[in-house]
Structure 1
């Protein structure tokens, strides 16, 4: 398996012995949506690093993927500070979010040149420290079909992924449009096992989940704990249905912390809700520790490294 590119450099997957949070935000700015709480900046570094450090000590948290990309307030230098302060490896991302957050560069640039922008960041790094992204995402759309601008970004993301070997994670608003997203990405030559379709725990549609998994994509249940969007009881039912259908190897689990009020230091459920609250319910439902390790460690590592079923299953301890 290829190394995982973190903010501190390449990391061997065999060194990741604990769980991975594959869809989180450690630094972002989404204030254009009118929500002043949608900011995680340098002032939150002590709270976030402290929380991740506790999760490392208690649950073995080994790796966090920050899916904050261009136009979302990405700050790779802050990610480096959080990683160093917590002892938890962090992956940065590149790409563009949904159309409401597209900067002017997207509106005036074709998909080929957008792909070139991502490839340059992946190869040469970004920010003052030239930190290299280890993921393309979260590439976003709102609705059953991406808008024209969003479709250009999906096309660019697929091209950049094919050229660099990185995988692509998506933002599907309320879980809608995942099949269309997957079709756009695979239609440009990207293998489905290098795609993770986001926010599927917000879509109460087990048939769609099975279709995505059957195509070979990862199905992200990545807003766990966000009760304002969905109750965890529904998430548990949807997860168990996917496991019963035989698709444990296509599940990713995370919490998508994206507001300062989500931080445990501010009274929120925090980055550890998955480990403290949700996974005990999964175990109580009869899911084994081996399957939980598959969903929380082996699957995200296979996704990040682009490993297929034939070459990723036995390469991890």
Structure 2
């Protein structure tokens, strides 16, 4: 007698407007972006995306990308101490028709809120994150769907950064979420991966950030071989790294067989990057970088893998058979 196969479980994204089936996400995602932000340590107002001043331009860009390229999802990684604004994310999602996944956690040490990190243990920090996952960001009811961007700088995280990474891993394991890291200028990804996995977080639930800023193909292969996702997420930031170098590094990773470990994005983190201010905008990935990949021989299935299926698998822990 033939047996009926068990149906695969429905995979749901936790978006700012509620649960969303991965089946509903038919277009590409931006895997590491900011729609609101305040990292203005210098006092010059450059590293700011203000909901009131810049929100209309940001929403206009997202709506235009939805219409032109089918943009379906943004993973928004503005976390505690980074000027987050959950209400602005809800408005962006509702007005543009682009789903938004919000985040919780702590950025790297210069941006750690003292009231959070000063005397808290790993267990206490994990409790803070679990409470936000369950109850919403800052009591708003807007629930995060990812931990990130959890930061460190240098090859080895500082003691507070190590605590925040370990706490993020514990919260992710407790609530079946994934973790995106901030590896300053690409450095420290191996140490981040080690800390997170030691807390029981599976490598496939970890994305090591900003690896396109580090011209070390052997390290990229090592991280991918261990099962982590590799973020080429500062596409278009030519002052940090040329897209020509990014393209070469990415092609090397694809040629090594790790297309299923890649996530792509632009990491818009200053208002000067917005198209309304003459910047490359959130759409640089679609308008410039992906056409360069196609010209280099990358086919549409691999483009879809990197821009849609990989982000969905990363967020949900789904297998290739499911998505």
Q: TM-score, normalised by structure 1?
A: 0.97
- Give deviations 1:279-310, integer Å, cap 9, x for gaps: 00000000000000000000000001122xxx
**Which residue in the other structure is 1:232 paired with?**
243
> 1:42 corresponds to which residue?
51
* TM-aligned CA deviation for residue 37 of structure 1: 1.2
Picking from 15, 20, 32, the partner of 1:11 is: 20
Q: Which of 233, 248, 265 matches 2:259? A: 248
Shift of 1:314: 2.6
How many pairs were matched up? Answer: 312
Distance 1:249 1:79, change over 3 A: same
**CA deviation string 1:116-160 (max 9, x = no partner):** 000001011124531000010000000000000100001101110
Equivalent runs, 1:128-139 vs 2, <5 Å:
129-139=140-150
Q: How many Å separate the matches in 1 of 2:50 and 2:141? A: 19
1:87 Cα shift?
1.0
- Superposed CA RMSD in Å reads 0.9
**For 2:211 and 2:93, how far apart are their aligned partners in 1?**
28
Maintained 8 Å contact 2:104/2:137: no
SS at structure 2 position matched to 1:180? helix
Where does 1:147-158 land on structure 2 (aligned, <5 Å)?
147-158=158-169
Distance 2:43 2:109 in 1: 16
Is 1:92 matched up with 2:102? yes
Matches within 5 A, 1:36-115: 36-43=45-52, 44-104=54-114, 105-115=116-126
Q: Which of 312, 317, 320 is residue 313 of structure 1 equivalent to?
A: 320
Q: 1:32 aligns to what SS in structure 2?
A: coil
Q: Using the alignment, how far apart are the partners of 2:271 and 2:118 within structure 1? A: 30
Q: Which string of whole-angstrom CA distances, capped at 9 and with x for unpartnered residues, describes residues 226-278 of structure 1?
A: 00000000000000000000000000000000000011111100000000000
Equivalent-residue separation in structure 2 for 1:76 and 1:108 (angstroms): 27
Secondary structure, in 3 states, of the residue corresponding to 2:93?
Answer: helix
Matching residue of 2:218: 207
Match of 2:5 in 1: none
1:216 aligns with 2:223: no
* More displaced stretch, 188-197 vs 82-91: 82-91
The 2-side partners of 1:96 and 1:267 are apart by 30
SS in 1 for 2:215: coil
SS at match of 2:282: coil
SS at match of 2:35: coil
**Secondary structure at 1:70 match in 2:** coil
Q: 1:266 aligns with which of 277, 280, 299?
A: 277
SS of aligned partner of 1:4:
strand
| Bigger mean CA deviation after superposition, 259-268 or 126-135 | 126-135
